[in-house]
Amino acid sequence: MKFRKNLKFSTSGVRGIVGESLTPLLTCSLAAAYGRYVGGGRVLVGRDTRPSGEMIENAVVAGLLSVGCQPLLLGVVPTPTVQVMIVESGANGGIVVTASHNPAEWNALKLIGAEGTFLTENEYAELSDIYNQEDFHFCGEELLRKVKYIANGFKIHQDKIFNSIDIEDIRKRRFKVAVDCCNGVGAVYSRGFLEALGCEVFTVFDRADGNFERIPEPLPENLDALCELVIREKCDIGFAQDPDGDRLSVVDNNGVALPTHYSLMMAAEHILSENPGTIVVNIQTTKNLEDIASSYGCGVEYAKVGEINVVRKMIEIGSEFGGEGNCGGVIWRRIHPGRDSFTTMALMLEMLSLCSESIAEIAATLDHYVNKSVKFYCSPFNSREIIRSLQERYSGEEQLTFDGLRINFEHGWVLVRQSNTEPVLRLTVENSSSELADQQLQRFTSEITELKNQLESEINV
């Protein structure tokens, strides 16, 4: 793929540093190419709260108008709201101006198709051809369309969530909830969303200005302020969002930030208890999901890392629930086919409303494995060769090979996978005890280091 100006490309969008690799001119051209790709018509546009968002949004609108599209502007909304509204409005697609959990100097275009799902690798390849060939076919005045503004996008999204859960059970409990909005879209919508569920809400980083006061990725180590807020206000639960509102992490009632996969584990436990069925997760997801699914007589299917890969697998097999445990991403297709922090908050509260246990007590029953990882700086070629060698060496074990190499053992698994965004080979191990995990980590680290040194010595000969 030949996207110019050294942009960072993935199936979740095209990213760059504003004013350097992501400029208004380039954005306008990319939006025009996207407008041609979807065949014109109506295209939803939303953005997060980053200071560069309005400028990039205007460039997107200009690009769409130039090829005969009608932009439908949602303003500052969560990414999942755009996904919901594409389907609800019958639009041909959508563009979200957000760099998700990247630092504030970054921005990006998340490109979404008519089904409300991100574009696949093959679809991006088609878009790339239009973009690189500058095959835009700009239209004249007679074909220019008017911009339309939509003010109730999030309300439609919220209503769809509320119609899928028992809101009265939640309201009866009058939960005390703390939210870290990361000064993103959650600062606009989370308080009202939770108050509509009868919650008493306490917030931190709740200015919708896009000036991130913590590292935007909602990892446990970045949530000290939320943990302190939960303890100070004696909250039942704490929620941490990323800037565009698709990912969610949880802090328990003791002020302990739970690992990111707990959001998916708890949501899966709750969903499967009411609606059993096969779930889909990415290849990096904890084995706990298999145990949870098995307890309800259900199975787990694995997909490549990346939201669209999980979603496509869900659609393929007719699964209603899935996600990416490594990033706090929960996908419930009843709402829309994508990650959604607002849906996840509602599911967590519904789960709490139906039991007497605290979130800390529930969490303590779910995680039975130890997960550890290490990375090796390694060229893509050497990474592929190392994976190939390990695949042959462990050919007698159960393997998944569609995204790196995952080797399943009796009490856990090992994943060796090449990064999509940097020259890194990642080794992840999971086992039923810290001792076993350490043993596997040491063993595979030694084997990978040996193979890496051998390959590098051959190059230097």
> Which residues are designated catalytic?
100
**Cα–Cα nearest to 156, from 92, 98, 78, 239:** 78
Type of residue numbered 248: L
Name the pairing type of β-strands 424-431 and 370-377. Answer: antiparallel
Structure tokens at 256: 């302990």
> Which residues partner with 240 through β-bridges?
180, 249
CB 304 within 8 A of CB 283: yes
Q: How far apart are CA 296 and CA 214, in angstroms?
A: 39
Q: How far apart are CA 131 and CA 231, in angstroms?
A: 51
DSSP 364-403: HTT---EEEEEEEE--HHHHHHHHHHHHHHTTTSEEE-SS
Residues of 73-86 as b/e, b for ≥16 C-beta within 10 angstroms?
bbbbbbbbbbbbbb
Q: How far apart are CA 383 and CA 375, in angstroms?
A: 11
Type of residue numbered 96: V
Helices (H) then strands (E): counts for the chain: 15, 20
